[in-house]
Each structure stands twice: as C-alpha cells, then as structure tokens.
Structure 1
Amino acid sequence: MVGMGPPTVPLDLARCFMMQSGNGHGQDRLRAALNRRGWNEIPGCADLQNLRNCLSNGLGFVWLRGDHNCKVLCDLPAGTSAVINRWPPKPSGSGADLRVLWHKAELVSTLVQYYEAQGLDPWRHHPLTLVLPQGAGASSAAWGEFRTLFEAVADGTDARVPLVQRTRNLWLLKPTGGCSGRGIGLGDSLEELQSHYDSCRAMEGLQAASASQAWIAQKYLEAPLLFQGRKFDVRIFALLESSPQTELGFALLAYREGYGRTSSEIFTLDELHPTMHLTNFAVQKSAEATFGLHEAGNSISFPDIERALGSSVGFLARIVPAMHGLMADAVLAARAQLMDTLAAAGAPKAIFRTLLAFDLIVEANGSPLLMEINPFPGQTPQNDWHGHYLRRLLDDYVNSMQT
C-alpha cells in the first residue's frame, strides 16, 4: 500500500526505562549508560498515569527525582516488578527517602545505638559529635552540654579524644542537612563557634534551612593521614538494593574503585583556611588560585594513594577493607527503618536501589572514620580519570540489572 511504512515492533518493556526530566545527580550519564546497553527510553515520566500504566505492564527501570518520589512510590501499581532508583519514603509519605542515613543528626543517633548495643565505642568509628537541636541558642541546654564537652576535651578529662587529636581542640559546626561544604564553621573557641552559628542562621539563603533543622558540633580530626603533606578524604560509592529473598532484606555492594579528594594546601593547624581543611570538591573549586595545583580536579585514584603512602601503610590491603566495614555498619544500624519503608511500599516484586556516596577520613595511625553519607552525590567529572571512573561506575550499575 502507498504510504505504509514498516510494521511497528512492540517494545519489550522489561528492557525499557522512564526517566523524570531534570538535571543533576548523573541523570544524563545514566541515560547514556542505559542506551549503551541497549535499553530503550519511554517518554512521559512526568505523567503519573502514564508511568503507572507502564509499571503495571512490566516496565524494567524507572529513574525518579525529588517530590515525584513520594507521589509514585506511595502508590505503586499492584504487581510492579521494575527496578526503581529510589528507596521508598517513610510510611507516612511525607519523609525523604534514606533520611536515616544522610541526615547527619539521625546518622549519629543510629550509629551510637548500634555500636553501644555491641559494647563498642561509637567514636572510634565516627568523629565525636553532639547534636544541637533546632533553634538552640547560646543559653540553651544543648549549648551548655556542648560547652561542658568542649572544656572536657580541652583539659583531657574526656578520654574519648586522644591527645594527638586535641592539640588545638578544634571543632566543626555543620547544618545537618547541608551539602557542598555550605555553612560549615571551624574554630577552637566557643565564642567563635557561637558567632559562626548565629551568623549562618541570619544569612540570606541559609536562614530558612537553619530555622528548620538541627546542627551538629563535631570534633575536628587534627592529626589526619596526609597525602603528600596535604589533607584528603575518601569517597566510595555503594549500591543499596532491596533483596526480599534474603534474610537481611537488602544488599550493600561497595564499588571496587573509590577516589580521594585532596586539599591544595600543605596541612597545618596554624592556619584555618576552609580550603586547607575542607576537602569537599565545591570548597576546593572556590579557590581559583590553588584548585588543581597538584592534581587535576583535586581528585586521586586509590592506586595514586597507595603509591604515595607506601605499602607499609596498607591503604588497599587494610584501610579500604576497614572502610567497607564502616559502610556496612552504617546500613546495618539503620536496618529497622529501611525495612519499615520497604514493607510500607507494598511492592514485593519491585527492586528498590540507590547509589550512595560514603565519605570517610583516615587518622594518622591508619584508622578510618565514617564522616557522612550522600544519597544524591554529584557526578560531574573532575578530571579525565574521574570521568572514566564515573562511566565505569554507571556501566556497572546498568550491567548489574541484567544479572
């Protein structure tokens, strides 16, 4: 017949994905990885009814962002068998997914309960931390407790902080929901820390966030393991995935590679530049004169770290496996909450998974500490090696859905 084209071949929905529009969190790179592996994208993810229809008919994978999360995950069609890139929200439907892991105050609370239940000292696994509740001021009971703790660490009566880590008694103040280094203060006097806290709460752009969240006071690591004389921390990605057929109910798979984030300045306690002491990429990038001075993008591979430290330190053989243990501890500490949200989702055939970024630091004696967990880590390549690393990471993420 004239005008008739080739017959339409029905798509195998199990090899199709839907992706909510928007930028950030590696969305474009994940789409490219899916396309490289032969997945087909179906448009219209923003249309909830269209998305529900596709889920009902066997859609293979869906990528969601932000508020779309609660709207969809709180009302999944019966029989949904898709892989979904989000953990379900709280049963009420009003909470952010994985808050128990990424919210600094909640992470501290679950870790303390977990380690103390086993007769272990939480502060050998995470820096000594005190939560300052929402709205706490200089005259509040919380600041009084912090003042007592600050003075006890300073005079050595609190043995939880060894002498090598309290030569200046430096403390960090952090907003519990902050990211990219925003709002962090560093100081060795209560007056200085209180001033930073008060000024941050009044600053335009931080005021709304500060009014609705707690802060944490955290002992700064004054004797870290150094990379060529400079401070560094470590980021390791891990895949958290529901696994209903197992006794635990989920799996945590640490990625085989990680990377270090370096400061551009030689480490000293005599100066307190944020770019010397905070190795977050956003903070380092803000110092145009020094950013990339030693390493492109201030990012280094695990082999780079191993070569610089030497085999006697045992970074790959001893420290990285210990980091994996800390990552597992953090998720096990939150198991009850994670399982509650899975049960509330009411979708036993669906697989919920998310990429988490665990940020860790190492003491001078080689003992790692978990700093925080990021559920929406940035995936902007910081140098050529890092770009290839991110591509491998997402290719392996997609491949893992086919095994």
Structure 2
Amino acid sequence: QEKKIFVVQGPYPVIRSLLWARGWVEKKLPCKGQVGSRPQQHHGRQKQLMEEVEEEEGDDGVEQGEASRLVQNQVPYFIWTNHCSAFDLRLLQRDQMVNHYARVAAFTTKSGLCLNLRNLPWFDQADPDTFFPRCYRLGDVDEQEAFIEDFRLTAARSLLKVALERAGDVLVGTQQLQTSGEGPGKSHVSCPMPPTAGPEPPLYPQLLDEALQICEQHLSVLGHQDIDMDTPRPHMMGTNWECFLRDYYHVVHEGARLMLSRMQWERCQALLQRLAEQLAQMGMEGNSNIWILKPGAKSRGRGIICTARLEELLQLAGRCKPPLLKPGEWVVQKYVERPLLIFGTKFDVRQWFLVTDWNPLTVWFYRESYARFCSRPFSLCHLDPARHLCNVSIQKHFKLARGWHPQLPPDRIWSSQQLQVYLAQIGRAEAWHQVMVPGMKAAVLATLRSARDLVESRKGSFELYGADFVFGEDCQPWLLEINTSPTMAPSSVVTSHLCARVQRDTLRVVIDHRNNPTCSTGDFELIYKE
C-alpha cells in the first residue's frame, strides 16, 4: 500500500542497504536481468555503512528474503539500474521512479557533447570556448576540414610563441637573433630535440614571416564573426601547408633554429596579444599544438591517444589507413597543455550533479568531489597515458613513478578538502570557492541547457551524473566529459567514503525531499530550477 517496493540492477550494494533500512522491500530480478551484476568487495565507508544497516535490521534480514518472495509479482516503485536500457521507460507508470532519462547521449557521449556545445550560443549567453576545449567530430566532412584548418592556425600561433620564448628578452637594434632549441625548462613547454652539435646556419628564414601572415589573416577573419553564420575559414593565399607543417615540426618539435629580427619580435608580441583578446583558449592551448583523439562513445579513457602531428591524427582516425574505429566514431579535441599541476603531476576532478526534472530543469550540485592523479610527472615531451589520462581505470595499470612526491596520495585520490588544503599552501586559498566551483557549476548548467530540448523528459525519473574537469594554470575549469552511471566502486579510502555518501544523499533528494521539501538533502545543493 505504501508502494515501497524497489529493484536494484547492477553493483549498488549501498543503495540496496539504504532502502532496506528505510523499510523498502526488494523485488529480485531474474538472473538474466542482472546484467553487469557480480559479487562485490566492499571497503571502508561502504562496508561500515552496510554493517550499520545490518545491525539496525537484526533478524529483519531473514524477513527481507521472505518479503522479496511475496512481492515478485508486484510493480516496483523505485528502480536503480546501471543502464537505461534495462527498462523501457515508456512503459513505466508515472509513479515509478527510475534513475535514468532517455536520450541523454546528447551530452553524455563525447560526440554528442561536441555537437551540442557548438550550438550553445543559440540557447544561452555562455560561450563554450570558455569552458570546453574546442572539439571536432571527424566523421563529419565539414568538421574534419574545420579541424584541419584549426590545427594549421594553431601551428602558426605556436610558432610565434616558440620564437618569442626561445629568443628571450634581449634584442639589440635590428640585429637578427638565432633562436636555440632550448626552452626555459618548464614542464609546460614543448620539448624539442637538441640541435645538431657544431656550427649550423639558421634554418627557414621565411617561416616566421609566413606564420605572421597566416595569423594576421586569421585575426582579420575573427573580426567579422557573426552568430548567424558559420565562421568563415581563412584561405591562406599561397600557403603550401605540407611544407609549412614540415618546417614547423622541425622548429617546434625537433629543435631547429629560426632567425628573428627586432621587427619580427615586435610583430609577434603585438599579434599574439590581439589574438588572445579574440581567442578564449589561447592561454590553455600552450605551444606544442597537442590534440587528443577520443572514441566518440566510449568511457573510462579507453582508446584515447595524444599526439602533436596532423598526419598521425588523421591516420589514427581512419582517413589514411584502415581505422581502429569508423571515422564517425572519433572526436578530436584540443589538449589542455597548461594544466594546474600538483607537485608536477596532472590531476582532474570528478564532480557529481543530479537532475531531478528537465521541465522545469532542476539541477543539484554535490558539495564534495575528488581529485584523480596520474602516476607519472606531467611532461609534454612524453604523451603516454600514465602522464596525461587521469582515469582510475587507466592509472591502475601503472606503477607510481620513482621519486613520487611524498605528499601525493599513494592511491592517487584526494578529496576536494585535501585539494583545498593544498591550494591554501600555495597561496591560492580562495581559488576553490571563487573560481573552480563557480566555473564547474556554470559549465554544467550551460551544458544541460544546450541539451534540454533533446532529452526525453519524464516526471518519475532522476539521474546522477559524473562530470570530469581539468583546471588551467589560472584555476579555470575545463569540462572534459559527463558520465552516466558514474562509478560507485570504492577504489580508494576517499572514494569508499564519498561514494557511499553521494548515494545516501541522492536518496534524500529523490525520496525524502519529494515528500518533505524542508528535509535535509545532505551535501546536495539546489543550484538551478527554472
């Protein structure tokens, strides 16, 4: 009569235990329906929580089994699954709650996110270039051509930056300066091969002039953009792109030298400053023109590759040789070359948020999150996954680097509280609450608004998502992806505690708050309701 019958499909022992403790009765799915379900190991807070529930139940555990048999033919009123496809949402009754919406691929797949955020200016005043690294679907002919154009333009900017960086600040009169292949030694700087020993004449005297001309034409195009039309592509008259990129690779990635006059130095400075005023991603894009190639609909870091060469990107995506996937399943995205590092190591943040309605759009943001570290020091000289992909499912395959900083966690996970302590230690105590969290909230809301008309709204549904963010040197967040059914597996001491809490608080929002708007919602904060 109270409609307290639930179904749990998948590895969610905490949800099951919490509902038992609330007096709900479980309707057991047949074995064939328990796709992805397997015996679980429970650690830390999850194990403690389950033990507390069992103590409260006493002999009721036996009664649960009997009650489950009695409701096998009854309708479940709360359904928690790890896949939306486990149930046909169209056949559910209005009063049946389920933890998924249909058609969320518009923002929970890499290709969907790429497409929808490009359309964001039509729905919102937010600019996706301020929080989402520019991205292209290689299966679309127009987008592939736009990516190639972007790569070339970024290469030209990169050449100007590298020329200034290697030249230093000393130029006398109009004397020409030969730039060496040595950068200032920072981990964020490209890592060219050392020049050949012995005297060597400067190479490519016309290359910098060509890069300056390309950037000037691009700046002219940027000044004539309009939301009502596609951004026109600058057609660089007389540019031999094959030769330009070949010489560019020699200079930026292999340490070849340039000639730089004072006039060129001044033009580079002025032009880069004007471009920075037009391009929101100039700060994070770095000097190496590195891009990250991703399968459009996979998760957990599978199939992701970083490279700085256009030919390699196109080959890997299937344009020049048999593809690993169909071209339409690949997206390519600008890599954040200047991330915020902790003791020289890259990290990202998994941030939960909950949608309880799409009409009106209602969004809850979790106050706690966790940071995931790579296993080896960050370096643009080496583009291996151990240094650049923070996913737990990737990093678990690598041993910690020799010389792992003693203040970094051996299990590669920090809570957001630990991250805030570190920020305070480096003099940026206010960054979390004034820059990082507001930026993550704004990115989440803008993304949801861009997809609102595509998601199949259902009043009895809700969904918990996990958004992954990396941060620039200025602490600004960059959205990488949004995941459905974010993992609740306790991979560390921190996550065993936090994952149990977010599941508890999700039930508080979707069950308790629905019946009593004044009740506690734990660490969930309502950040948006139309």
Same fold at TM > 0.5 = yes
Does the CA-based 8 Å contact 2:132-2:479 persist in structure 1?
yes
How big is the shift at 1:373? 0.3
Find the counterpart in structure 2 of residue 3 from structure 1.
none
Listed as ranges, the matches of 1:77-116 within 5 Å are 77=93, 80-87=94-101, 89=102, 97-115=103-121
How big is the shift at 1:387? 0.2
TM-score, structure 1 as length reference: 0.78
Q: 2:502 aligns with which of 370, 393, 401?
A: 393
Q: 1:324 aligns with which of 425, 441, 449?
A: 441
Unaligned runs of 5+ in 2: 34-69, 158-214, 219-274, 514-530
2:320 and 2:491 map into 1 onto residues whose CA distance is 29
1:200 and 1:373 map into 2 onto residues whose CA distance is 30
Find the counterpart in structure 1 of residue 374 from structure 2.
263
- Asked if 1:337 is matched to 2:454, the reply is yes
2:403 and 2:378 map into 1 onto residues whose CA distance is 16
2:417 and 2:479 map into 1 onto residues whose CA distance is 21
1:330 aligns to what SS in structure 2?
A: helix
How big is the shift at 1:359? 0.7
- Asked if 1:305 is matched to 2:419, the reply is yes
1:222 aligns to what SS in structure 2?
A: coil
1:282 aligns to what SS in structure 2?
A: helix
How big is the shift at 1:230? 1.0
Does the CA-based 8 Å contact 1:238-1:252 persist in structure 2?
yes
Listed as ranges, the matches of 1:1-400 within 5 Å are 12-20=1-9, 23-24=10-11, 27-44=12-29, 54-55=74-75, 59-66=76-83, 68-69=85-86, 72-77=88-93, 80-87=94-101, 89=102, 97-115=103-121, 118=124, 120-133=126-139, 142-156=143-157, 157=215, 159=275, 160=279, 161-162=281-282, 165-198=285-318, 210-211=325-326, 213-242=328-357, 248-290=359-401, 294-310=408-424, 312=428, 314-318=430-434, 319-338=436-455, 341-342=456-457, 350-400=459-509
1:18 and 1:381 map into 2 onto residues whose CA distance is 22
How big is the shift at 1:142? 4.7
Larger Rg: 2
Name the amino acid aligned to 1:272: L
1:323 and 1:177 map into 2 onto residues whose CA distance is 22
Does the CA-based 8 Å contact 1:231-1:263 persist in structure 2?
yes
Name the amino acid aligned to 2:15: L
Name the amino acid aligned to 2:23: G
TM-score, structure 2 as length reference: 0.60
How big is the shift at 1:307? 1.3
Name the amino acid aligned to 1:124: T
1:178-212: per-residue Cα shift (whole Å, max 9, x none)? 11111111111112223333499968xxx5xx238
- 1:68/1:216 Cα in 2 relative to 1: closer, same or farther (>3 Å)? closer
Does the CA-based 8 Å contact 1:284-1:291 persist in structure 2?
no
The alignment-based identity, stated in percent, is 25
Q: Where does structure 1 differ by over 4 angstroms across 4 or more consecutive aligned residues?
A: 50-53, 116-120, 199-203, 289-293
Unaligned runs of 5+ in 1: 1-11, 90-96, 135-139
Does the CA-based 8 Å contact 2:284-2:339 persist in structure 1?
no
Does the CA-based 8 Å contact 2:136-2:144 persist in structure 1?
no
1:86 and 1:195 map into 2 onto residues whose CA distance is 37
Name the amino acid aligned to 2:98: I
Q: CA RMSD in A?
A: 2.9
1:75 and 1:178 map into 2 onto residues whose CA distance is 28
1:283 aligns to what SS in structure 2?
A: helix
2:354 and 2:411 map into 1 onto residues whose CA distance is 25
